Amino acid sequence: MAPVDNGAQTETKDQAITSTTAATDPYNVEAAEILASSAQHMPIAQAAPIYEQILSLFPTASKFWKQYAEAHMAVNNDDAIKQIFSRCLLNCLHVPLWRCYIRFIRKVNEKKGAEGQDEIRKAFDFMLGYVGADMASGPVWMEYITFLKSLPAQTAQEESIRMTAIRKTYQKAIITPTHHVEQLWREYEHFENSVSRQLAKGLISEYQPKYNSARAVYREQKKYVDEIDYNMLAVPPTGSFKEEQQWMAWKRFLMFEKGNPQRIDSASSNKRIIFTHEQCLMYLYHYPDVWYDYATWHAKSGSIDAAIKVFQRALKALPDSETLKYAYAELEESRGAIQPARKIYESLLGDGVSATALAHIQFIRFLRRNEGVEAARKYFLDARKSPDCSYHVFVAYALIAFCLDKDPKFAHSIFEAGLKRFMHEPVYILEYADFLSRLNDEKNIRALFERALSSLPPEESVEVWKRYIQFEQTYGDLASMLKVEQRRKEALSRTGEEGASALESSLQDIVSRYSFMDLWPCSSKDLDHLARQELLAKNISKKAEKSAVCNGPATLDKIPAVLASNSNVFGKVIYPDTSRSVIYDPRQKLGTHHFFFMRLEFHLAQQCLGSRLLLTHCQILLDWHPMYLMRC
């Protein structure tokens, strides 16, 4: 078979993969399964690149590794097989793959006499060290014991050594919760009795409780394991029910193992926990939380180095996960390894040109924490030159200058410098105003609002107007308060979002002006009612404007129809039981988030929810009292 042919055929397969999956996501499980099964009927030279391709996407798919190894085994490519096993075994703690490995080792070493037997024994030990804790490892333990029993023993000493090896293996096997633990126990009893009835009695009564415990744990553990699909391919989370179910199954299993249900020594327990984590990662390879939990568990168990290795593997699996990088950097930083931490931060910054604003900010914070005021300042002064440096970086650094460096003047100058670039960013204006209000700098706050509102288009100035009004409610007199409210109405009426009628002052404005924190000048029922009215009024004014334009009976005719169609919705609405609501209760002791959240929860508890009502409440809370949200 010429290599040229090979190449050509592979390319066709490549195209097949591409055409099946390119349009959607590369992790197309179905396509991979089809490809793998088609590879089974090809000569190995043709199949190998296909396996490589599949395995580059699914590096923890033990079934494909096994199939790949078996394809080579069919033609006795021993070197290739060894290569494959060296690449996959330690990342794929799955019994069938490892049994395939043992088959290979036995086949290779069968004819090599004592030396070969030693190799096989080592392979068994190696395997059981990695997957001996697997519930499916029973047959491996049995096979090992059978193998040990089959070993020749010429002298009495050799016989004694062999017996000891068999006994030790039995004693490990019967304290491992596997499907075959009962059978292994019966065999062990038989074994000891066949060796020495007298000795057996003592040993069996010594191991009986350990076996009992293993069997009890097995029965419990089986329920967790039964929930797990060991055939699943590792794909990035899509949020499917199957995936969530598997994620939960693994979480529960891990939690169970972490509880050390067998009450074994902590070293053995930790080994089991590591085994379960590693196995879990075969399937939840693309889940940053699983990697993170694993690393954290290592760190908490005192193995910082192991934790760091997990992070390094995690970043190979998920090189784009910023979250994992921050977590990794945090671990390094908190153990005092500032240089390694800095390297990770630098990797987040990339070449610096296309660094995200968040990466700049976190690096500045890191520098401020670990290298001091000057290092942070220097980095900021460089970073702000980048055209991609957003207002966030200015805000973050100004807050550092104010809160940490206690340098309000410099902080002020940063905000002022940023204003030249970010005058068009309402959020920046609000942050700047917030900062000035910490300085209690009334004059500059007012000036800032005026500057911003003279340049922002009305549709971008909604929040700025709101804050300006809140400001006047706190700092201004009645006339300035009313004047800004009126100006806001005039400015925003031009956006078309609010109708002409919105220009008029409404009772809602009064409620908003004369509220304070969670105190309202009316009952919660009144608030519900007013909010509902506001919503209805918006519809009226929209319609009225339309009819003012058309000014004909055609438009007016439509109103009753609209009402009629609404009536279906209205009929279904469940009104809240305001007596249970805590929002407006002045005695309530929770912060805003809770008060808002409880309200939402309460609404959601009513299952199929009339959306108009929730909207109403959101509006009442957000439109009327942004100030309160701001405060708490």
Q: Output the CA torsion 127→128→133→136 (10° steps).
A: 70
* Whole-number Cα distances in Å, 333 to 292, 340, 341: 16, 8, 6
Q: How many CB atoms lie within 10 A of CB 616?
A: 22
**Least distance from C-beta 265 to a second copy, angstroms?**
21
Closer CB to a second copy, 483 or 494, in the complex = 483
Closer CB to a second copy, 191 or 224, in the complex = 224
User: Which of 121, 369, 384, 451: binder of a second copy (CB under 8 A)?
Assistant: 369
User: Which of 75, 519, 550, 574: binder of a second copy (CB under 8 A)?
Assistant: 519
Residue whose C-alpha is closest to residue 612's, from 528, 525, 518: 528
**Least distance from C-beta 479 to a second copy, angstroms?**
7
User: Which of 386, 442, 502, 546: binder of a second copy (CB under 8 A)?
Assistant: 442
616 is an interface residue for a second copy by CB under 8 A: no
510 is an interface residue for a second copy by CB under 8 A: yes
Q: Which of residues 451-490 bind a second copy (CB under 8 A)?
A: 460, 462-463, 466, 474-475, 477-479, 482
**Least distance from C-beta 268 to a second copy, angstroms?**
21
Closer CB to a second copy, 182 or 434, in the complex = 434
Q: Are 101 and 78 in contact (CB under 8 A)?
A: no
User: Which of 358, 375, 491, 502: binder of a second copy (CB under 8 A)?
Assistant: 358
Q: Are 501 and 612 in contact (CB under 8 A)?
A: no
Closer CB to a second copy, 47 or 411, in the complex = 411
350 is an interface residue for a second copy by CB under 8 A: no
Tokens read off for 166: 């068999």
Q: Which of residues 204-223 bind a second copy (CB under 8 A)?
A: 219-220, 223
Q: How many CB atoms lie within 10 A of CB 338?
A: 14
Q: Which of residues 525-554 bind a second copy (CB under 8 A)?
A: 526, 528-530, 532-533, 536-537, 540-541, 543-544, 548, 553
User: Which of 24, 155, 205, 440: binder of a second copy (CB under 8 A)?
Assistant: 440
Residue whose C-alpha is closest to residue 29's, from 313, 249, 318, 236: 236
Closer CB to a second copy, 136 or 427, in the complex = 427
Residue 166-205 contact track with a second copy, rule CB under 8 A, x = bound: ----------------------------------------
Q: Are 282 and 92 in contact (CB under 8 A)?
A: yes
Closer CB to a second copy, 232 or 609, in the complex = 609
Closer CB to a second copy, 51 or 432, in the complex = 432
What is the b/e burial string over 110-128, where b = at least 16 CB atoms within 10 angstroms of the residue's CB?
eeeeeeebeebbebbeebb
> Applying CB under 8 A, which part among 93-101, 131-139, 175-183, 503-511 lies near a second copy?
503-511
Q: Which of residues 374-433 bind a second copy (CB under 8 A)?
A: 390, 392, 395-396, 399, 402-404, 406, 408, 424-427, 430-431
Tokens read off for 309: 């290795």
Q: Which of residues 234-293 bind a second copy (CB under 8 A)?
A: 237, 239, 241, 244-245, 247-248, 251-252, 255-256, 259, 288-289, 292-293
> Applying CB under 8 A, which part among 88-96, 115-123, 136-144, 566-574 lies near a second copy?
566-574
Closer CB to a second copy, 161 or 536, in the complex = 536
Closer CB to a second copy, 149 or 335, in the complex = 335
The DSSP result for 426-467, as a single string, is HHHHHHHHHHHHHTT-HHHHHHHHHHHHHHS-GGG-HHHHHH
Residue whose C-alpha is closest to residue 278's, from 297, 265, 304: 297
Residue 519 has phi, psi (to 5 degrees) of: -100, 130
**Least distance from C-beta 386 to a second copy, angstroms?**
14
Q: Are 364 and 396 in contact (CB under 8 A)?
A: yes
Residue indicated by tokens 């057996």: 200
User: Which of 29, 42, 373, 556: binder of a second copy (CB under 8 A)?
Assistant: 556
Alpha carbon distance 218, 220 (integer Å): 5
Q: Are 290 and 246 in contact (CB under 8 A)?
A: no
What type of residue is 279?
Q
323 is an interface residue for a second copy by CB under 8 A: yes
Q: Which of residues 1-20 bind a second copy (CB under 8 A)?
A: none
Alpha carbon distance 480, 483 (integer Å): 5
Number of residues that bind a second copy (CB under 8 A): 136
567 is an interface residue for a second copy by CB under 8 A: yes
| Ramachandran area for residue 28 (φ above 0: left; ψ -120 to 50: alpha; else beta) | beta
Q: Going by C-beta distance under 8 Å and a sequence separation of 6 or more, which residues neighbour residue 168?
A: none
Q: Which of residues 116-175 bind a second copy (CB under 8 A)?
A: none
Tokens read off for 306: 């192991």
**CA torsion through residues 44, 46, 47, 49, sign:** positive
Closer CB to a second copy, 325 or 377, in the complex = 325
